[in-house]
Amino acid sequence: MARERSGDKTSPESVISIIGPGMTVVGDCETEGSIRIEGRVNGNVRAGKAVVVGRDAWVKGDITTQDAVLSGRVTGIILAGSRLELQATCRIEGDVHARRLQLQEGAILNGTVNMRDSSERGEGSSGQEPGP
């Protein structure tokens, strides 16, 4: 027996979008929820919640999200508002901005890493190091 769910709506944050193996997306991808990439994306990826890049995946573009777990290849800037995990099989060519970073042995990261919290920018505005 089918159950009618007229009042139940799925929130955009709880949706997981998937780009499967063998699939190529040309253009930007944007979601309020999470996205899992197992294929290729030639464009920027923005997810309100999380981005997962699989072992055989390749993103040629920037990634912007709260949390990211990267196992594949990314060529572009990565902005993780909360947490970024670079697994042993990943290869990153680009700059990384994250509050927290986990880098497994074997991961390749060619770029700069910025872990400064935005609230820290106002501290020490004189440009001098604190005294002893």
Sheet holding 58-60, edge to edge: 24-26, 40-42, 58-60, 73-75, 91-93, 108-110
Confidence of residue 89 (pLDDT cuts 50, 70, 90): very high
pLDDT in tens, 10-54: 776 778 999 999 999 999 999 999 999 999 999 999 999 999 999
pTM, to two decimals: 0.81
CA 53 to chain centre: 8
Residues above pLDDT 90, as percent of the chain: 76
Whether 2 has a pLDDT exceeding 60, the answer reads no
CB 57 within 8 A of CB 70: no
Among 48-62, 69-83, 115-129, the range scoring the smallest mean pLDDT is 115-129
CA distance 24 to 39: 6
Among the listed residues 35, 32, 115, 117, the one whose alpha carbon sits nearest the alpha carbon of residue 70:
35
